[in-house]
Amino acid sequence: MGLHIAPDRSAEAPIIEFREVGKSYGVFKVLDQLSFSVKPGEHLALIGPSGSGKTTILRILMTLETVTSGNVFINGVSLNREQKNGRDIPASEAHLRKMRADIGMVFQHFNLFPHKTALQNVALAPVLTGRMSKAEAKDRAIQLLDKVGLANKADEYPSRLSGGQKQRVAIARALALQPKIMLLDEITSALDPELVEEVLNVITDLRNETDMTMLLVTHEMGFAKDFADRVLFFEQGKIVEDGPPSELFHSPHHERTKSFLRKVIAAGQRV
Amino acid sequence: MDWSWDFVAQIMPALTQGLLVTVEITLVSSVVALVLGLLFALAKMSPVGSVRRVAIIATEGIRRTPLLVQLYFLFYVLPDLGILLSPFTAGVIGLGLHYATYTSEVYRAGINNVPVGQWEAARACNLTTRQTWTEIILPQAIPPMIPPLGNYVIAMFKETPILSAITVMDLMGEALAQANFNYRYLEPITLVAAGFLLVSLISAAIIKLLENHLNLRAA
Amino acid sequence: MQNLDATIGYGRFILSGALATVELTIFSCALALLMAFLAGLALLSRSYSIRAVARIYVEFFRGTSIFVQLFAAYFVLPLVGISLTPVQAGVLAIGLNGGAYGSEVVRAGIQAVGRDQTEASIALNLTRWQAMWWVILPQAVVVMLPSFGNLAIEIMKATAVASLVTVSELTFQAQMVRSQTGETAIPFLLILVTYLVIASVLTALVRLLERRFSRGTAGA
């Protein structure tokens, strides 16, 4: 087949590549022969109606879902397949753990560990994955909590934090493993409107201060426009339009993109 | 270890007789447990505070002490107070009373699980108290109670061997009598274990089916 | 006065019986806890054969009563070369029986922890065992504790059956007093109260554990 051979490594070698990826639940197709690639350091916004497959892309990258067909490559290495003794087999747990090392994710519902304090939430994984000693991990966690403006909440349990504070702890937790790729899955959808801004400010800082590749799934069109260098508009598991935000938001080529944006504006959002 | 089919054949009639007694005990004590349990549940939900307290103390006291001791109490202590019970009667009362404390919790949970909104809606529809219970509350409360009540009936069936300790000649009683008489424990006890295992596996599967059926209907 | 002497005499019997009951309860609970976690985790294993073995253990011990199992352990096991003292037979039967019920508590407790916690653990690149030990179990234990409390009381109640294979615990001692003195009401009332006291101590212990383990969750 030759599909799983690493692509050429040139200066423009993609950090993420989807090749004809399909994903279905029974007869329901979530992703349909999807191909696209992302360059290192790119800031991507994935937009589109609910159920268009945006979140599934992030979940496949985080290895929370497997693909039904096709291949996903991270730095030219297949995420879902591996070569063992010359044979091409589904990725083992060991292979997946190696691949996950470069990827971090922030969830819509935070998914904080309720039995751990904010500090423990951030410091747990670096210690368990053997990257840092306990003392180092603690220092690093304090720095990260400070960075998201929560140094004073280090010893609080998640149940005592507001939604915005929880999400900022979750961002610090994802950063603790120093990922090269950061996946942000509707990170403000579960927040009260007045708490959205504090989270988006943290993301804006990250965008400007790090060279992480970032993929943002969002319904906040205004933020997508400010955040992204490139926007992908999805519908029914396919990319309808792919371009810089100035173009996609102000002079979209496709009728579907136009009608989606009209609905969003009608719902009161700034674009 | 030498299994003797001849011995099995020899004790089979006695064991069959015992099995009949076991089934009889299960049926009668189930009725006791289901009826008494309902009374306990009503008492525990009584509007009168003292009735509630007494009911809770009584049921918790029974639930937290061994059935075997309760059976001894019925069988050895009551005669001194002038109440003479046959082993069968003492066994049925003991088993039924013990499990009534469990079934009362099923009834209570079943009724409490009907949302408050249903009571309020019934009032808004101007139904009488009686209509509220028969038309609105009980039809919703009873179906979810059936699987747990069924499980307690199975549990009582499995627990009947303990009645042999007060000389009830149930399956276990007959098996022990045969074992002691012939000095052979292997066959009687293995047969009893196998018999109980078989019946409880089958009945648990039936309850599971029933539960799925009820869940489907509720969904 | 003679009544008082007799009561003190019973007292000594009952006290030694109570100690034996407590001992039997502790050992049986320990074995049950061990088996509950082993079988509970095995019930959730990815391997079909491990799940099958655990399922057979659970169904076997839940399918027959503790009474039958105790007699099998005491009278049948010696026939296959395993001779146990009455106390050993009691702990083995009661512990394995309790473990079978406990394994369902462990399984349900683990499954009660949301899928989101597993996903967060994967995103943080923890291994399956790290996720189980550091993330899932600490939360699952909080869910399991009330059921474990009930199970501990069921185990304590089950120890009474060990009297029938001559373990000299509370019920056995009451029977001794009855057969030697003909007294019935006082010895049986005394042991009923003793059982209630032990049950209350067990309940209080579990409450204490619940408070300790519930930090961080449920507003603590």
pLDDT at A169 over 90: yes
Considering the domain boundaries, does residue C81 fall inside one? yes
Give C69's contacts in chain B (Cβ within 8 Å). 193
Considering the domain boundaries, does residue A25 fall inside one? no
Q: Is residue C181 less than 8 Å (CB to CB) from chain A? A: no
Number of structural domains (chain B) is: 1
Structure tokens at B63: 């639930």
Separation CA B45–CA B53 (nearest Å): 10
What's the average model confidence in pLDDT over B151-179?
92
Considering the domain boundaries, does residue C75 fall inside one? yes
What's the average model confidence in pLDDT over A78-105?
91
Residue A147 belongs to what domain range?
Answer: 114-178
> What confidence score (pLDDT) does residue A7 get?
47
Q: What ipTM did this prediction achieve?
A: 0.88
> What confidence score (pLDDT) does residue A55 get?
94
What's the average model confidence in pLDDT over A69-79?
94
Inter-chain CB pairs, A–C, below 8 Å: 70
Q: What is the average pLDDT value for chain C, to the nearest integer? A: 91
Structure tokens at A185: 């899955």
Considering the domain boundaries, does residue C24 fall inside one? yes
The alpha carbon torsion through C68, C72, C75, C78 (nearest 10 deg) reads -170
> What confidence score (pLDDT) does residue A1 get?
42
Residues on C contacting B at a C-beta cutoff of 8 Å: 59-60, 62-65, 67-69, 71-72, 75-76, 79-80, 153, 156-161, 163-164, 170-171, 174-175, 178, 184-185, 188, 191-192, 195-196, 199-200
Q: How confident is the model at residue C7 (pLDDT cuts 50, 70, 90)?
A: low
Separation CA A141–CA A135 (nearest Å): 10
Structure tokens at C13: 């019997």
Residue B167 DSSP class: T
Q: What is the average pLDDT value for chain B, to the nearest integer? A: 91
Give A190's contacts in chain C (Cβ within 8 Å). none
Considering the domain boundaries, does residue A67 fall inside one? no
User: pLDDT tens, C126-171?
Assistant: 999 999 999 999 999 999 999 999 999 999 999 999 999 989 899 9
B104: CATH: 1.10.3720.10
pLDDT at B81 over 50: yes
Number of structural domains (chain A) is: 1
C188/B68 Cβ within 8 A? no
Q: What values do phi and psi take at C122, rounded to 5?
A: -65, -45
DSSP SS3 for B60: helix
Number of structural domains (chain C) is: 1
Considering the domain boundaries, does residue A131 fall inside one? yes
Q: Is residue C180 less than 8 Å (CB to CB) from chain A? A: no
Considering the domain boundaries, does residue C39 fall inside one? yes
B176/C171 Cβ within 8 A? no
User: pLDDT tens, C165-213?
Assistant: 989 899 999 888 888 888 888 889 999 999 999 999 999 999 999 888 8
Q: How confident is the model at residue C1 (pLDDT cuts 50, 70, 90)?
A: very low
Residue B178 belongs to what domain range?
Answer: 5-218
Residues on B contacting C at a C-beta cutoff of 8 Å: 1, 61, 63-69, 72-73, 76-77, 79-81, 158-162, 165, 172, 176, 179, 185-186, 189-190, 192-193, 196-197, 200-201, 204
CA distances to B36, C50, C115, C136, C198 from C45, in Å: 42, 7, 16, 15, 36
C23: CATH: 1.10.3720.10
Considering the domain boundaries, does residue C120 fall inside one? yes
Separation CA B45–CA B199 (nearest Å): 35
> What confidence score (pLDDT) does residue A266 get?
85
Nearest to B185 among C76, C163, C175 (CB): C76
User: pLDDT tens, C49-107?
Assistant: 999 999 999 999 998 989 999 999 998 898 888 899 999 999 999 999 999 999 999 99
List of chains touching B (3+ CB pairs within 8 A):
C
Separation CA C220–CA C212 (nearest Å): 10
Query: Range with the lowest mean pLDDT among A3-7, B54-58, B188-192?
Result: A3-7
Residue C117 belongs to what domain range?
Answer: 2-213
Q: CA nearest C60 in B: which residue?
A: B197
Nearest to B76 among C72, C170, C184 (CB): C184
CB burial class (10 A; 0-12, 13-18, 19+) of residue C55?
A: middle
Q: Is residue C126 less than 8 Å (CB to CB) from chain A? A: yes
Give A97's contacts in chain C (Cβ within 8 Å). 125, 127
The shortest C-alpha distance from A240 to chain C (Å) reads 29
> What confidence score (pLDDT) does residue C4 get?
64
